[in-house]
Amino acid sequence: MIEHFTPREIEAMRPAGEFVAGVLATLESEVRVGTNLLDIDRRAHELIRERGATSCYIDYHPSFGASPFGHVICTSVNDAVLHGLPHDYKLRNGDLLSIDFAVSVDGWVADSARSFIVGERRDPADQAVIDTTVAALDAAIAVARAGNKLGDISAAIGAIAHRDGYTVNTQFGGHGVGRTMHGEPHVPNDGRAGRGMRLKPGLVIAIEPWLMRGTDAIFTDPDGWTLRSQDGSRGAHSEHTIAITQGDPIVLTARPD
C-alpha cells in the first residue's frame, strides 16, 4: 500500500532526517586511512544510542539477505556497491567508500547514503562516478513535484547516468519511507518520463541512484549481503529521503551546513 502523510506528519519526520544526515556527516569527517569498517559501525551504534533512535538495519532480514543484517550501517568499499556488511577491513588510501544509514526516531524513518574517497589518492574515474550519482539525485529531486509522474524521477536519474556513459541496474532502487524503511512505491533508477503513478503531496520516498564504472551486473558476496559489480569495477551510491509537497520537495536528509 502506498501511504501519503499529512504536513504535520512530514514535520514530525524532520528530526529523523536531520539525525541521519548528521551521522553521515560525522562519519565522513572521522573516517581516515586505517579506519576499520567495524569501528564505523560501532561509532554509528554509539550515536544511535546517544540519540535514543532505533536502527532499521540490525534485525532487518528481507528475502534477498542471507540472515538478519546484524549491524547498523552499510559500508560498501570499491567494487562493493550496495548493502556492504561491515567486517574486519582497514580502509586504504584511495578506497571508494559508500555508507548507507537508516534509523527510526520517534517512530519515523529516514534513509540516506553518500560515497566518498578515503585519503589523498584520488582516481578521477572514482570521483566521476560519485559526481554522477549526486547529479542524478539532484535531477531526480528537481522533478519530484506534485502532478509529475514517478517515471519522471526514474527518467531523470537514467538520463544523467546515460549522459555520463554508465549503464543502470534497476534491480534495486528507491522506495517509500514512513513508519518503516522500505515501502511502496519502488522507484527504479531508469525509466520513461510520463509513466507510472502521479505524484501527490504527502508521498515520502527515498531516491537512491547507484552506479558502477564498468557494468550494470552484480553478484552477492559469500557473506549473503554485500552486492559487488560483476567485473570488479568500483561504484558509488547517493540517497536522500524526500517529501512531495504542494510546492518544492522537502529534502528531509539534507546535509547539515
Residues of the binding site: 83, 100, 111, 175, 182, 208, 239
What per-residue string of b and e applies to 5-23 under the rule 16 or more CB within 10 Å gives b?
beeebbeebbbbbbbbbeb
List residues forming the annotated binding site for substrate.
Answer: 83, 182
Question: CA 226, CA 78: separation in Å to the nearest integer?
Answer: 12
Q: Which pTM does this prediction carry?
A: 0.96
Cα 168–195–13 angle (5° rounding)? 80
For β-strands 218-220 and 240-243, DSSP reports them as unpaired
Digit-by-digit pLDDT tens for the chain (257 residues) are: 899 999 999 999 999 999 999 999 999 999 999 999 999 999 999 999 999 999 999 999 988 888 999 999 999 999 999 999 999 999 999 999 999 999 999 999 999 999 999 999 999 999 999 999 999 999 999 999 999 999 999 999 999 999 999 999 999 999 999 999 999 999 999 999 999 999 999 999 999 999 999 999 999 999 999 999 999 999 999 999 999 999 999 999 999 87
Q: Are 237 and 133 in contact (CB under 8 A)?
A: yes
Q: Which domains does the chain possess?
A: 7-251 (3.90.230.10)
Q: Residues annotated in the binding site for a divalent metal cation, as ranges?
A: 100, 111, 175, 208, 239
Q: How far apart are CA 140 and CA 174, in angstroms?
A: 11
Which residue type does 121 have? Answer: R
